[in-house]
Homo-oligomer: A and B are copies of this chain.
């Protein structure tokens, strides 16, 4: 019996835990809006928020990753087809310039995620075009910015993203995010944060979409040195490993109308 060639996966696909012979390609993306405009943010993140995130991943993951950064002002925002083809996991930080991101690039990234590329969306990236496009919902939340202490509690202790993360992870001062968070119910909820003011927030949410994996992590703001926090760096390193393609990255799963070819 012939099977649908489109879906057939050759028997010689390597098994999951064969040590990778090549490092994971990671692209750390940021809008880089605050840094050139605000001296205080620049002091906090002299290499940009993207620079701090990239440094943390290199420190935690060493030779297992090849990390590059990309920012809004680059051509195609640094997210050309070639760049994405070399990316196993993309991390996204945006805040002020969501609307300046080209819809064509958003759709290109979305199709890559559905084809197997991992995506890690950070903090105010909850309202980015790419996250809203993949979730389909408002992706809105409540907030206040009073420098409250945030405690990030692990609710899924067996989850790979929680491995080696302090329980709780203590962030001395942070912007407060509050429920309800306008997202689909996560496929796996890993972290819930509690704030000194009493708010709670689902701060670590996993989604499976197409062949890809998406992780949203809320801690991280331009006003606080969150991306220098060793516990946060550990979460992001774990998330990169978790979000890495489980199968070969490639084009989106299927065409619109794929006949069954017996």
Contacts and interface: CB of A to CB of B under 8 A. Distances in A.
Interface string A52-76: 0000000011001000000000000
Stoichiometry (number of copies): 4
Interface residues of A, number: 99
B166 A8 contact: yes
Nearest to A182: B253
- The prevalent SS among residues of A at the interface is loop
B255 A158 contact: no
Contact of A13 (B164, B176, B179): B164
A215 to B, nearest CB: 13
Interface of A: 1, 3-4, 6-13, 15-17, 19-20, 60-61, 64, 110, 114, 116, 127, 133-138, 140-144, 149, 151, 153-160, 162-168, 170, 176, 178-182, 184-185, 187-189, 192-200, 202, 207-213, 230, 234, 237-238, 241-242, 244, 246-247, 252-260, 262
